[in-house]
Amino acid sequence: MYSKLIGGISALALGLALSLGAFGQSAAQENSAAEKRHESITDETVKNYAKHEPHMAAALQHLRQAEEELEKTSNNHGPYRDQAMDLTKQAESKIMYGMQYYDQHVSPLAPPKK
């Protein structure tokens, strides 16, 4: 069930990115320092978890790709483009929390439970 959920999230994010990208391309928006930091942290997390959490890392990578595609679209989609970007960032955050949880509670390398 877990892998189906991750697969579903990845497929949804990729479909969203592809469909929004097809409807309109515009000049890429300038990234603020906070956005660049967020992107850097997310990309580094994908690299660090690729071996022991490949599905979560792949889902996170797909969401980053979706976020990049959303940033490239024009802003003439009403509030929905911005809402999609916010939800994509929230999903990225939840995946990162999930990987941290795994490290702390499930991983064979996790600290022993008292």
Q: Encode pLDDT of 60-82 as tens digits.
A: 999 999 999 999 998 889 999 99
Q: At what angle do helices 80-101 and 54-72 cross, to 10 degrees?
A: 160
Which tokens sit at 65?
């790709």
Check pLDDT > 80 for residue 39. yes
Q: At what angle do helices 2-23 and 54-72 cross, to 10 degrees?
A: 20
The model's pTM: 0.64
Q: How confident is the model at residue 108 (pLDDT cuts 50, 70, 90)?
A: confident
Q: Give the residue among 8, 30, 17 at the shortest CA–CA distance from 65.
A: 17
Check pLDDT > 60 for residue 28. no
Q: Which residue has the higher pLDDT, 83 or 26?
A: 83
| Predicted local confidence at residue 114, as pLDDT | 67
What residue has token string 């990845």? 10
